[in-house]
Structures are given as C-alpha cells and as structure tokens.
Amino acid sequence: MPLVTTKEMFEKAEKGGYAIGAFNVDNVDILKAVLRAGEKTQSPLIIAISSGALQFIGENYIRQVCECAAKEITIPFALHLDHGKSVELCKRCVDIGFTSVMIDASAYDFEENIRQTKEVVEYAHARGVVVESELGAIAGIEEDVVVDDKYGQFTHPDQAEEFVKRTGIDSLAIAIGTAHGAYKFKPGQKPQLRFDILKEITERMPGYPLVLHGASSVPASALKRLNSYGGCMPEAIGIPEAMLVEASQKGVAKINVGTDIRVAYVGGMRQALVEHPESFDARLFINGGLNAIEELVADKLVNVFHSAGHAKD
C-alpha cells in the first residue's frame, strides 16, 4: 500500500471514534517494528521522524525505506516530520517525499508563528503534502510558569480558531497538559489533562483534527524491565492511558508516542544482553528491543487508540 497523507486518516478516525497513533522512530529497525505492530493489528498509523532521527537515518534513505516497506504491508501509513523547527527543514522534507510535515514555530510570538506556518502550508499544499502546527507551551509543564488566567501556557480557544483560519493548516497540536519526555511531572504531582479547554476548542471547531504531543504513559512494566536488567532510570509518571482514551473520544485525532518506545527498546535489549551473556550476535540483542516495541505499540493501537481493525476503513 502506498504512503498516504494524514488528511483521509483523520476524517475516518473522526467518523469511527478512534485516534491515529504517531510513533517516533529513531532508526530503520524501530520503524519496521512499529509497522509490524500496525500490520498485526490492522491499524493505520503514522511514522514520525524528528530532525535528529532524520539526520541519524539519513535523508537519502528514509523515503526509500518507507516505499520498500509499503510494498510488503497492507496498512495505510503516513511519513511525518515531527517538530520541524524551521521553514527550510519542512520544505526539504516535502521535497524528500514526506506526506506530512509539522512546522513548530510555537517558540515565536503568535504573528510570527502564523507567518512561518503559512509559508510552509503554501509550499506543502502545492505539492500534495499536509501540514501540522503547534499552539501553546506543550513542554512548559515543568517550567513553573506563573499565570493569571485559566489558559496560561495552554492553548487558548480564541487563538486556536484564528490560527487555523489564517494559516490553513490541516491539524493543530494543542497544549492541554501533556509534556515531552519521561519526567513530565514532579514527584507527587498528579497528571491532569484540561478537558475543559479541549471541549471549548472542539465546540469552536467541530470535527477539526487536534493533536496531542508528549503523550507517553511510561508504563510501569517497561520501566521495571529496563531497571531489572541493569538500567538506572528513576521512577517516572506519564499520561494515564485512560486519559488518552478519553481524549480520543473527545476530538483528538492524533496522539504522539516517543518516550515509551525508547524505554521499551532499551529494556528489551538489556534483558537480552543479560539473559545471553555468551552471545555476540547483535541481532539477538536488537531483536529483544524490537520485540518489546512491537508488543507495546500493538497494545496501544488496540487498547488506547482503538484503531485496530480500521486499516480497511
């Protein structure tokens, strides 16, 4: 099945009441493991590539790898640039063959964010590629931001509506309480998504595809395996999966997962290394990590995103 854009994916997800999982991959092996999980569960999904992963894998390889994979699997999947920090990078990924790009100019003021986003939209849409952008401080949950109103560092519904209208973007990443990385919350802090803000946004833009970044849950089982086999990763609190299920039922079309994949991968490799100290077959250890990823991704597709079985929608 050829690579697809996310536009049709999100339309089907909205009608079907499920979310599309976007999984950050750091190398070709992880990419293949994620696709295997999608094939196993017959779930559409998104392969998300950060700028660092793009550099690590190589710009000349990524599109060809995905095209080779598309010949072997039956599920629809998109190739997405995650957090493109410059207009130039987004344009380059469009030219490489990505079917979706994210321009992340959220660090700039509102007007500059709009200006950069519009430039990417005009370039990408002319070439059949869809665009995601971000509004609000998704990474600000650990920064002790002091605010005077209910929205604070979160996405303001008024700005969300204006931003979408003025830029023409295809999906919007909103800030309602998620955060990047494993250590999203301080000890004793209770995770909480702002469903009240989500409701206000969806009421203003019914059916519009919204995105949650920083949505890893840091499963206790994955963390335990990593530490049981020689790791030393402190206890971490992620976004409870029940909240992600609720978000997908209340207007969130795309949910990003990155940290969970890395924790599962390293934990699976550590276990294989400890259990087979006599071996020097790198494939044995790598497969330990990949099998852990496949298991984790399949579980999310079935039990969190509820997208399993929707590949043929």
Catalytic residues: 82
Q: What is the largest CA-CA distance in the chain?
A: 61
How many angstroms separate the CA atoms of 214 and 191, rounded?
A: 12
- Residue among 50, 2, 57 nearest 23 (CA): 50
Q: Measure the CA–CA gap between 248 and 46, rounded to whole angstroms.
A: 16
Residue with tokens 């990505």: 98
Question: Read out DSSP for 99-122?
Answer: SEEEE--TTS-HHHHHHHHHHHHH
Contact call for residues 136 and 163 (beta carbons, < 8 A): no
Q: Please tell me the distance from the alpha carbon of residue 275 to that of residue 73, in angstroms, as a whole number.
A: 32
Sign of the Cα pseudo-torsion (214, 215, 220, 223, in order): negative
The DSSP letter of residue 290 is H
CA-to-CA separations, 156 to 52, 142, 163, 165, 174, in angstroms, rounded: 30, 19, 10, 14, 9
Within 10 angstroms of residue 310's Cβ, the number of other Cβ atoms is: 22
Q: Which residues contact 218 (CB under 8 A, 6 or more apart)?
A: 182, 236, 237, 238, 259, 260, 263
